Chains A and B, each alone.
Chain A
């Protein structure tokens, strides 16, 4: 393809003759650039730069020539340019208008400083985040209180839309996942309990674990991934579009119009979803059991009745609205914190899902502690 080369020789003892040959364009400049960087001037006091063999030149080629001229001059060598057609000379003249400043990039921190810096920053940001989330919680409480006193403030159409969006539309995925979890639990349970000849107690295991913990937890995690992220993306895009600012200037409170319907919608929908997940989980487990051990559906239902009380069921269900509140609150909170670019929407959405699931697990642990204290 294209080639750019440099030929150097000493004419007299102290005259360095540099001849540039070929096409000095960005595609072929690499070798010539390296040669000129490593150029040994020895005792030269004068240099001649011969451009007569240059076929074509672009700004990058001109840059290399210009830089060589400057570095020779810096070494106290007087340089003379010869040859070169009209275009090449014109180009070199133009390139010399655009000086290359030598600017150092801002200094980077060393490893230790950098790590400390990151830890400090993360801790600081975490504390700010907690504070903001708490104040957001307060804001929600105030708006809710206002809405309870003036029920007209609950946006019914918006609310039903969100219930459909986060509840109805989530039924297939939540149902499928719960069913499969039931299948897996039953399989593992039978496998272990068979060693004691106590396969029948797999049903107790299934009933209690699904109703108390697994059903609501799986549903919450799926909903955090599905609806928590959607809330952040929706609200975030509205912030980006200045729709939220538009609402504020009209005197409409985004908390009332955007946040409350979403939170309330999820708080209403999640208990129903959890109930659905509980049932599907039990069905999944029962189906698997009837394959694995010789047992009829009638026997399974009898055993479930013995193992599970209404309390077990409500212990699972009572957590659902709390988890729903956490997921929706974090989703809206992160959405409202979107700033600047579309990139920010992506970042906030990731954060919203991670924080949503994290909070759900934390509160689940808290519930366990409380329930064990009151002896449930």
Chain B
């Protein structure tokens, strides 16, 4: 790995999340470095979404702290918080495009409301971002209900990228896509990541994605994370990890 990857961009320290008596995260530590692609995996209910929501500030943790770009997100003023949020692009699982707006207007929302840009520049940016995510320009005038699953994800990705964020969060980006679209989406992420110097955090169950684009993998087991490169994780002795990465499906993707 090159030197850049050693600069921490997100630091999660001693994180505790509990719902009633059920503890989801117990003193969890996770550091994400600039320029890497981190895959977050774990069993259903292991707290992947809760971790992602905590990092994004959508969920207030029961204990511990989250630092993004060196700042503790719990103690920020509204304005400082907004600056951090603008450095984060998020692709939600279902796309979360605003259903009452066309794709073009969806992508223009951050440009108009946050960057205070006006037409025609905003429209040019829309076409640029659509071409970046590999959608035909005519998609701009469609509404979210008229898009297929893959197109929705691409359009939502265009919206997430429109302010050139440093960190891109992807929540199950390939779920619900057919293998061809999923593969195309993986290579799109890979291409954009190197072109735009992105740091990518992705929650995924897709073994192909883990293999093709992730530099490191964080596995949520026993209320903590085990982080490592693909090879390190493969060699880990934890029984759940053994099952996950050496099961029949994994063997089909990774080989022996």
Contact = CB atoms under 8 A, between A and B. Distances in A.
Nearest to B104: A105
Given A26-B163, A30-B116, A98 B141 contact: no
A58 B111 CA distance: 14
Given A30-B116, A105-B141, A98 B111 contact: no
Contact of B164 (A25, A101, A103): A25
Nearest to B116: A30
B152 to A, nearest CB: 12
Nearest to A90: B195
Contact of B117 (A26, A95, A103, A340): A26
Interface string A34-70: 0000000000000000000000001110011001000
Counting chain B CB atoms within 10 Å of each CB, the highest count among A60, A98, A101, A106 belongs to A60
B138 A103 contact: yes
Q: Is the interface of B mostly helix, strand, loop or mixed?
A: helix
Interface string B99-121: 10000100000010001111001
Given A26-B111, A26-B117, A64-B121, A103 B127 contact: yes
Contact of B121 (A25, A33, A94, A101): A33
B140 A95 contact: no
A251 to B, nearest CB: 29
Nearest to B194: A94
B127 A101 contact: yes
B125 to A, nearest CB: 6
A29 B127 contact: no
A99 interface: yes
A297 interface: no
Q: Is the interface of A mostly helix, strand, loop or mixed?
A: loop
B132 interface: yes
B124 interface: yes
Nearest to A62: B128
A341 B94 CA distance: 12
Contacts of A58: 164
A26 B99 CA distance: 25
Contact of A95 (B115, B121, B128): B128
Contacts of B248: none
Interface in A294-323: none
B212 interface: no
Interface of A: 25-27, 29-30, 33, 58-60, 63-64, 67, 94-95, 98-103, 105-106, 340-341, 343
19 contacts: A26-B115, A26-B117, A26-B125, A29-B117, A30-B121, A33-B117, A33-B121, A94-B196, A98-B128, A99-B131, A100-B124, A100-B128, A100-B131, A101-B131, A101-B137, A103-B138, A105-B104, A105-B141, A341-B99
Interface of B: 99, 104, 111, 115-118, 121, 124-125, 127-129, 131-132, 137-138, 140-141, 145, 161-164, 195-196
